[in-house]
Structure formats: structure tokens, C-alpha cells
Amino acid sequence: MTEVKVFRVIGEMLISHDKLPRWQKFVKDVRATKPSEAIELVYSLLGSNHKVKRRHIKIHEVKEIPVEETKSLQILALHKLDRIVVSYVPKPTRRITR
């Protein structure tokens, strides 16, 4: 099983590219197994949260960091878990009567 690491992705994104374009710097900490996966996750997060196209995102640096160095509370909480319990409850089937 591959180990999940914490990566810090540093870059900039183009905000309001049509009216008054400006490049906004960002720093994102994400959990991934390899740097390319971390980059894809950042593209996905910025695209969904800020409606930024991939061509308007420039990645400058991707580096692995220790978990204690991150400021993300979600990453810290996930790191402290020792197991995850997933329960599955099937949906009741409907019977169609005529």
C-alpha cells in the first residue's frame, strides 16, 4: 500500500482575466501519493472553487513537507486517524405492482 504524503504547492493564478487581470499568488497544502497527483488536485480545487482554467494557473514549486508544518486543520485531523470505518447500507428496493 502506498503512503500518503503532504505536499505544498506554490504558484499563481490569473484572477478576472477579462476585466482587470491580475496574478494572485497561492499556497496549497494537499495530501497525495506523488507530486503529479498533488498538482492535479490543486488544478481541480482551484478550478472548482475559483472557476479558473488550467491555462490560467502557473505552478512554481511542489515540495513534500512534514505533516507538522501544514496549517490545514483537515490534513492534521486526517493524519491523526488510525482507522476509518465505512458502513454500507443498501437502499431498499421498490416493487412495482400493476
Q: H or E stretch including 63?
A: strand 57-65
pLDDT at position 45, please? 96
**Domains located in the chain, CATH noted:** 5-80 (3.10.20.10)
Predicted confidence (pLDDT) at residue 17 exceeds the cutoff of 90: no
Give the whole-angstrom CA distance, residue 4 versus residue 79.
9
**Which residue type occupies 81?**
L
Task: For residues 52-61, give the mean pLDDT.
Answer: 96
Q: What is the pTM of this model?
A: 0.80
